[in-house]
Structure formats: structure tokens, C-alpha cells
Structure 1
Amino acid sequence: MHNLVPSVGELNADRSNFRFGVLPSTPKRHGACDFKVDFKARVVEPRDEVKGMFARVYFYMHDRYDLSMSDQQQRLLMAWDKRYPATAWEFERDRRIAKIVGYSNPFVVGTRQWTRGHRNTADGIVTPIPAGHRALRPASSAQATPDTTNSTPVGAVLGNRSSKVYHLPQGCPGYARVSAKNRVHFQSEAKARAAGFRKAGNCR
């Protein structure tokens, strides 16, 4: 539960498993959401308010489940952890989760600190993970489940009125994750572009 956070489906899809970074010259792509993604470089930068929390969640997941982290990511997340310390809400969130699962995130409550070359405790491992699988990244948020009860007609181009991004039914991971209130249907990509929409950057 320490790794689960609410997320806009489209942002979660665009975030994919990209590494974190700083993108000063990259424009925002998601309307009013302060989130940047460079699809070519496979880098994302979340808003300042959650950078510290992201760092502490990553420290927790890598330490507890014996995952590897590049030196570059370690240095960046250590900087975010220091610059954006845990807020009152982050402490309260940790307290509520600990009450359910039985333990806190030690990187939030301060009983453990991440340093370069950190040696993982692997507290959450019951059966050792094969070495070839340790580079997997934990998800930054709960994965959205496609809405099968309010599906979009097959073949329709689906726009997000909030972000002004459109998705295709094939090859666009965010197609099924657009919330019902933001859905706009178009008969073709040309009509979507004419209405001021642009194609989602993660469409293949």
C-alpha cells in the first residue's frame, strides 16, 4: 500500500516505466496538470509537490524488494528527498497505511536513510528474486483498469477534452483510460486535429 497513489489514467500511461529526470525546456502536454514527459528520451518529471514523496516511495520499494537503481537515479531522488521533506499529510498517510499493513515506510518516518550504493534490506522478500529480474521498476501509482462498462465504439477516435489529446483504438495505451466526463468522439484523426486536438505522444 505504501506504493499506491491515485493517478490520472492518461498520466499513468504516459509515465509508463520511464526514469525520472529534470526537463526544464520540455512543454507540458496534459492541460493544467504540472507533469512533463519526454517520450524520445523516456524521462518524466512530476510536479515539485510530489517529488519528495516519489523518492521515498522508490527508496522503500527498492529496499524492501531488493530492486536495483542506477547511480543517476539514486543521486536525483536523494536530492528530491532532501529538498522536499515529508509533509504533514505524508506522515498522516504513512500512519494510516501502517495501521493496516503493520509497518511504516522507514524513509518517511526517518528510521532509514538512502545513501549512494545503498544495500537493500530485502525485508519483503520471502523467496529470493533471480538476478535477471531485479531491474524491474515499481509502478508509481495504481494501474488504471480499462472501463468496460462505458466502452467507446470500435474504430472511433477518442479525445480528452481536458488535455486536448486524442487516442486511437489500436496502439494508444491511454485510449481506455480517458474518464467518461472528458470523452469526445471524432470520426477521424483529421476531425480531431481540426478541433484543436493532438495525438497522444505514447501512441505506437
Structure 2
Amino acid sequence: MQQYLKHILQPLWLLVLFTAIILTSSNLHAAEHPKSFRSAKKIAQQIYSSSLPMSSFYCGCDIKVVGKQWKPDLESCGYQVRKQIPRANRIEWEHVVSAWEFGHQEQCWQDGGRKNCGRVSPEFKKMEADLHNLTPTVGEVNGDRSNYRFSQWNAKSTLYGQCDMVVDFKGRKVQPPEQSRGAIARTYFYMQDTYGLSISSSQQRLFEVWNSYYPVNETECLRDRLIAEKQGNHNKIVLKQCQTLSLID
């Protein structure tokens, strides 16, 4: 009888073990860092369109999907076009930590700029495609922000209507709206922790203030979880705050 049971149960055990291995491999395969900036943008679109509020990062404009194009509803946020009408009427995926900031000191950048780094540097491609650093932004704001540093000097916005984004073109600095400051700080700390991004002492202090004064909310916690499911890693600072504030299970 024992031999009979052994004969029956052994194949079943092997089947269970094989199934577990397959499921584990499948989950690991599903959580994979995007291979390129282009693929990262597609994944980001899937995350936002299926599970997150469809609104632009800085200005909070509603996002409409027209065919394959993502467009900001400028009236929904009181946005006024400063200069660039075509870019103001499309959503672009902005690097919160600009590509220049995480790439310009690399040899590949000095040899041929961003495009060259995208061709020859696996580390740059990984940073460029990191979902934690990508946000949907009104194209004109993305272009105006350029690679300017984030700052705070209590200026009043007059450039984009009700969107409280201030760009000092001469000073090459940007004061973002309050609702985005905490997420900006935590993104910089993520890039610092993950890739060794160099942050000046003055910006480090500013971001520490923003991180404390503007804590995570449920949407930021959900975004972090969804990105981790796709990419395989959390923003540890976001995750810790979400757990501390009991915003996640």
C-alpha cells in the first residue's frame, strides 16, 4: 500500500513543485526593468490609464486620450499657454531628475550627448527608463523646465494661468507647485540611493524640507506599488512613508 501511495504521490509532488517554479519565474519575468525610455513610456501609460488619476504632474490638468495621443485638458486646470501651443496641447513624459542631471558627467555624454549615452551606456539607459522618475507633464512645462534645478523663493506664477509653476529662465531655476514638491524630493532621493546621483548640499536640505512638509498621499503610494509590480523595485522612501502613515496594507 505504501509503495502504491508513493507511486501516486511522487508525480503529484513533482507537478506541484514544477508549477511553483513556473509561477515564480513568470512573476519574476513580469517584474522587469524597462529596456528603453520608449518602452518605459508605454508601460507608464498602461499604469496611469488603468489605475491612477489621469492628471498632469505639475499643473493637475485632466488628461484625455485621443486615439494614441495623450492631451491635457487645459481648461480643467486653468492653464494658459505661454508660448508653445503645440507642446502645450500634448502630454510628455518628463524625467523629474532630468537626463542631463544624471548623465552629463558621464564620458558618453561628453563624447556625444544624450543620444550617444543611450547607445553605448547600459547604466544610462537604465536610469533613462526608470519608471519612478517619469511623470506625465504638459509638454510646454516640460520644455520650459528643461534641466533647470528645483528651488523655492516664494515667487508668484504669472506664466501659465492657474498652474502655479514658476520658471526663472535667467536664473535657470524652477519653483514647482506645492502639490508636487514632496514627490519631487522623494524622486531625487530615490535616484541618489539607487544610482548614486550627486545632489548639492543646498538642494539636499531643500528636498529634506519638502519630503517632511509634503508627505506621501494614497495616490503616490499606489503609484509606487504599481511601478514595483512592473519594474521590480520600490522607491524605499515612499514605501517607508506609506507604511508609517498606514496608507498601504
TM-score band w.r.t. shorter chain: 0.5 to 0.7
Q: Which amino acid aligns with 1:98?
A: A
Counterpart selection for 1:82 from 212, 215, 218: 212
Structure showing greater radius of gyration is: 2
Would the alpha carbon gap of residues 100 and 25 (structure 1) be closer, same or farther in structure 2, given more than 3 Å must change?
closer
Q: Which amino acid aligns with 1:63?
A: D
Listed one character per residue, the Cα deviations across residues 93-132 of structure 1 (whole Å, up to 9, x for unaligned) are 0011111111110010128xxxxxxxxxxxxxxxxxxxxx
Counterpart in 2 of 1:32?
162
Counterpart in 2 of 1:109?
239
> Aligned partners of 1:43, 1:61: CA distance in 2, in Å?
20
> Aligned partners of 1:23, 1:83: CA distance in 2, in Å?
16
Q: Which amino acid aligns with 1:5?
A: T
Structure 1 unaligned segments of length 5 or more: list them.
Answer: 112-204
Tell me the TM-score normalized by structure 1.
0.52
Give 1:69 deviation, angstroms.
Answer: 0.6
> Aligned partners of 1:66, 1:28: CA distance in 2, in Å?
36
Counterpart selection for 2:228 from 71, 76, 98: 98
Give 1:27 deviation, angstroms.
Answer: 3.5
1:41-56 aligned within 5 A: 41-56=171-186
When the two chains are superposed, the root-mean-square deviation of aligned CA atoms in Å is 1.3
Give 1:65 deviation, angstroms.
Answer: 1.1
Contact 2:157–2:163 (Cα < 8 Å) also in 1: no
Give 1:25 deviation, angstroms.
Answer: 3.3
Counterpart in 2 of 1:60?
190
Counterpart selection for 2:152 from 2, 22, 32: 22
Listed one character per residue, the Cα deviations across residues 147-181 of structure 1 (whole Å, up to 9, x for unaligned) are xxxxxxxxxxxxxxxxxxxxxxxxxxxxxxxxxxx
Contact 2:190–2:235 (Cα < 8 Å) also in 1: yes
Give 1:63 deviation, angstroms.
Answer: 1.8
Q: Which amino acid aligns with 1:42?
A: R
Counterpart in 2 of 1:73?
203
Listed one character per residue, the Cα deviations across residues 56-96 of structure 1 (whole Å, up to 9, x for unaligned) are 01111122111111000000000000000110110000011
Counterpart in 2 of 1:167?
none
> What SS does the corresponding residue of 2:202 show, helix, strand or coil?
helix
> Aligned partners of 2:138, 2:221: CA distance in 1, in Å?
23
Counterpart in 1 of 2:133?
3
Structure 2 unaligned segments of length 5 or more: list them.
Answer: 1-130, 242-249
Would the alpha carbon gap of residues 61 and 109 (structure 1) be closer, same or farther in structure 2, given more than 3 Å must change?
same
Greater relative contact order (Cα 8 A, min sep 6): structure 1 or 2?
1
Give 1:26 deviation, angstroms.
Answer: 4.5
Contact 2:190–2:236 (Cα < 8 Å) also in 1: yes
Larger fraction in helix: 2
Contact 1:23–1:44 (Cα < 8 Å) also in 2: no
Tell me the TM-score normalized by structure 2.
0.43
